[in-house]
C-alpha cells in the first residue's frame, strides 16, 4: 500500500488564473493506496468507476463513482483508498478572498467557507469543470477574459448553493443605458491589445461583476468575453488586409499573446486561418 503522502503516478495539467486554480489529472494507479486529497475547493470526476473505496475523517465507504460526481471538500479530510481502473478528474480551487469579494458585491453575508458534501451530482459544476478543462491548453489575454466570466459564475453558484448560510443574493436591478453602452464599447475598442477583465469593465459602470455580465448581455446580445473576442477578430481582419504585419504581430495587436490561440480562434470564427484570409 502506498503512503498517504505519496502521489500515485498521474498526468496533470494545471493553470492558475486570478483567484482560481484549475487542474486536470489522469491517475493511472489502481489497487490499494492511501492518498489524502490536498487542500482545494472541489473535484469533478470525469471517468466512471464501478467500485471505489474512500474515507472522510477516517470513516471508510465503498461506492460506485459515476461520471460527473462532485466532491466538495470543505474543511474535512478526504482520502482515496482503493480504485480498480484509471481515473480522470478536474480539480478546482477558488480562493476564499475571491468568494468573500463576490459575496460582498452580491449582498451576501460574510463567507465562513463552503460546506462539506461528497458523492453528489451538480450539472452546473460539471459543465464548468469541462469548460475550464478545455481552457487549460489556451493562453493569453483572450482566454483570461473567458475564464474570468466562468470563474465568477462558479463563485456565485457555490455561494448560492453551498455556503453554510445558503444565502441568496439581493436582487440588483439596473440596465445599461445607451450612453453607458457606447462608453463601454469605446473603452473596449481603445484597449483591444490590452488585458480586459470583467472587474475592469464593471468598475466603469459601476456594478458588481456578476450583475454587470448579465446587464451587458442583455444590452448587447452576447456576454462580454464573446463581444470582446468578436471585436478582436474584426480588428485582426482589418490589420491582415491593410498592413503587412506578421501573423504573430497581428495576434499581439489584438490581444492574443499566443499565436496558436489566435489562429485557432480566427479559424473557429471565419472557417479559415489568418494566412488564408490574407491570401
Average pLDDT, the chain: 84
What is the secondary structure of 158-191 as a DSSP string?
A: HHHHHSTT---PPP------HHHHHHHHHHHHHT
Q: Does the reported pTM lie above 0.85?
A: no
Average pLDDT over residues 169-192: 79
Average pLDDT over residues 63-76: 91
**Residue 3 banded pLDDT, cuts 50, 70, 90:** very low
Taking 70 as the threshold, does the pLDDT of residue 166 lie above it?
Answer: no
The residues, any chain, with a CB within 8 Å of residue 66's CB and separated by 6 or more, are: 45, 48, 121
Taking 90 as the threshold, does the pLDDT of residue 140 lie above it?
Answer: no
Residue 154 is predicted with a pLDDT of 93
134-143, 173-182, 184-193, 203-212: range with highest mean pLDDT: 184-193
Residue 161 is predicted with a pLDDT of 86
Are 91 and 22 spatial neighbours (Cβ–Cβ below 8 Å)? yes
Residue range(s) of every CATH 1.10.10.60 domain in the chain:
178-278
Residue 178 is predicted with a pLDDT of 87
CB count in 10 Å sphere of residue 151? 24
7 vs 223 pLDDT, higher one: 223
**Residue 209 banded pLDDT, cuts 50, 70, 90:** confident
Residue 109 is predicted with a pLDDT of 62
Task: Report residue 53: phi and psi, to 5°.
Answer: -120, 130
Secondary structure of residue 198 in the 3-state scheme: helix
CATH number of this structure's domain 178-278, picked from the four choices 1.10.10.60, 1.10.3720.10, 3.30.420.40, 3.40.640.10:
1.10.10.60
Residue 269 is predicted with a pLDDT of 92
- Residue 147: burial class (beta carbons within 10 Å; 0-12, 13-18, 19+): buried
Cα separation, 93 vs 34, in Å, equals 22
Question: Domain 10-162, what architecture?
Answer: Sandwich (2.60)
Residue 2 is predicted with a pLDDT of 44
Average pLDDT over residues 164-188: 73
**Residue 270 banded pLDDT, cuts 50, 70, 90:** very high
Are 34 and 3 spatial neighbours (Cβ–Cβ below 8 Å)? yes
Q: pLDDT tens digit string along 86-100?
A: 889 999 999 988 888
Average pLDDT over residues 150-164: 87
167 vs 225 pLDDT, higher one: 225
Average pLDDT over residues 139-158: 80
Residue 142 is predicted with a pLDDT of 56
Its sign, for the CA torsion 216, 217, 221, 223, is: positive
Residue range(s) of every CATH 2.60.120.10 domain in the chain:
10-162
Taking 90 as the threshold, does the pLDDT of residue 275 lie above it?
Answer: yes
Amino acid at each position: 500500500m502506498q503512503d498517504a503522502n505519496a502521489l500515485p503516478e498521474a498526468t496533470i495539467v494545471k493553470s492558475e488564473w486570478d483567484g482560481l486554480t484549475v487542474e486536470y489529472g489522469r491517475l493511472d494507479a489502481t489497487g490499494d493506496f492511501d492518498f489524502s486529497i490536498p487542500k482545494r475547493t472541489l473535484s469533478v470526476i470525469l471517468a466512471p468507476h464501478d467500485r471505489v473505496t474512500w474515507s472522510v475523517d477516517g470513516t471508510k465507504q465503498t461506492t460506485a463513482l459515476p461520471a460527473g460526481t462532485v466532491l466538495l471538500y470543505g474543511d474535512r479530510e478526504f482520502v482515496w483508498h482503493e480504485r480498480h481502473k484509471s481515473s480522470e478528474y478536474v480539480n478546482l480551487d477558488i480562493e476564499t478572498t475571491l468568494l468573500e469579494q463576490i459575496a460582498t458585491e452580491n449582498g451576501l453575508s460574510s463567507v465562513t467557507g463552503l460546506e462539506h458534501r461528497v458523492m453528489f451530482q451538480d450539472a452546473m459544476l460539471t459543465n464548468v469543470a469541462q469548460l475550464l478543462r478545455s481552457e487549460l491548453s489556451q493562453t493569453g489575454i483572450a482566454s483570461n477574459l473567458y475564464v474570468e466570466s466562468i470563474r465568477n459564475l462558479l463563485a456565485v453558484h457555490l455561494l448560492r448553493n453551498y455556503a453554510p448560510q445558503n444565502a441568496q443574493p439581493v436582487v440588483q436591478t439596473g440596465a445599461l443605458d445607451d450612453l453607458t453602452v457606447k462608453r463601454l464599447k469605446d473603452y473596449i475598442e481603445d484597449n483591444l491589445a490590452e488585458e480586459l477583465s470583467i472587474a475592469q469593465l464593471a468598475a466603469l459602470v459601476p456594478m458588481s461583476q456578476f450583475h454587470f455580465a448579465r446587464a451587458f448581455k442583455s444590452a448587447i446580445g452576447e456576454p462580454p468575453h464573446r463581444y470582446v473576442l468578436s471585436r478582436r477578430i474584426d480588428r485582426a481582419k482589418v490589420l491582415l488586409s491593410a498592413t503587412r504585419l506578421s501573423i504573430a504581430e497581428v495576434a499581439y495587436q489584438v490581444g492574443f499573446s499566443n499565436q496558436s490561440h489566435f489562429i485557432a480562434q480566427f479559424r473557429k470564427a471565419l472557417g479559415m486561418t489568418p494566412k488564408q484570409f490574407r491570401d
